[in-house]
Amino acid sequence: MLAAAPFVASAADNGVSYTYIEGGYNQARIDHDDEILGDFDADGGYLRGSFGVSKSVYLFGSYASGEDSDNVSLDIGLPDPYEAKVDDELTISEFGVGFHSAMGERVDFIGELAYFRMEEDFKVHDDEGTYTDRWHVNGGRASVGIRGGNEHVEGWAKIGYLDASDFNGNFVGGVGGQYKFNQTWGLVGEVEVFDDLSRYMVGVRASF
């Protein structure tokens, strides 16, 4: 990516670059809607990037992981509930293609299509031993939104539809922004919500 960056079209007049690499802290808040497992806050890290292949098309991808441990009271039909420790690990990966077109002097319209995969691993530890289970979904996401800014700050907002193998389609929405220290480096924050999952990310971005 770094070697090819000089040959990619330069950022638009609004200061937005579609070629960057980014990483930082990631938290996924999961509502299991389950009296047994309850809710988890999976803390970890993420890495994502984008590469502008033409003046209006870019490729993007991301990987995020997080884990949490909690003590829960298991009530599975026994006379008395008993305590157990649950380890929960979540990974989310995505890659796709995007399109952008100027809507004004400082705002772009963006549209994205992406492949999406999410995995969740459970480990339940009790007096009888350890029980493990894995749940995963594969699907696709289609989103539209706006992105714009200047040489100091930028922001974006997207709304879309996500359909995966093991659950019915859900609307997904996200908002984010970047404060730019200079033309290359910036501090990024973003919130994304769909179904029973909320994601919060804070990281550092290098734009080219």
The 3-state secondary structure of the chain, one letter per residue: CCCCHHHCCCCCCCCCCCCEEEEEEEEEEEECCCCCCCEEEEEEEEEEEEEECCCCEEEEEEEEEEEEEEEEEECCCCCCCEEEEEEEEEEEEEEEEEEEEECCCCEEEEEEEEEEEEEEEEEEEECCEEEEEEEEEEEEEEEEEEEEECCCEEEEEEEEEEEECCEEEEEEEEEEEEEECCCCEEEEEEEEEECCEEEEEEEEEEEC
More confident residue, 102 or 34: 102
pLDDT tens readout for residues 156-178? 999 999 887 766 678 999 999 99
Could you tell me the residue ranges of all domains in the chain? 34-114+132-142+184-208
Band (71; pLDDT cuts 50, 70, 90)? confident
Q: Report the mean per-residue pLDDT for the chain.
A: 84
Query: In this predicted structure, what is the pLDDT of residue 75?
Result: 59
Q: Is the per-residue pLDDT at 127 higher than 80?
A: no
- 104-108, 162-166, 202-206: segment of lowest average pLDDT: 162-166
Q: What is the mean pLDDT of residues 55-59?
A: 96
pTM: predicted TM-score of the whole model, two decimal places: 0.81
Kindly state the percentage of the chain with pLDDT values over 90. 54
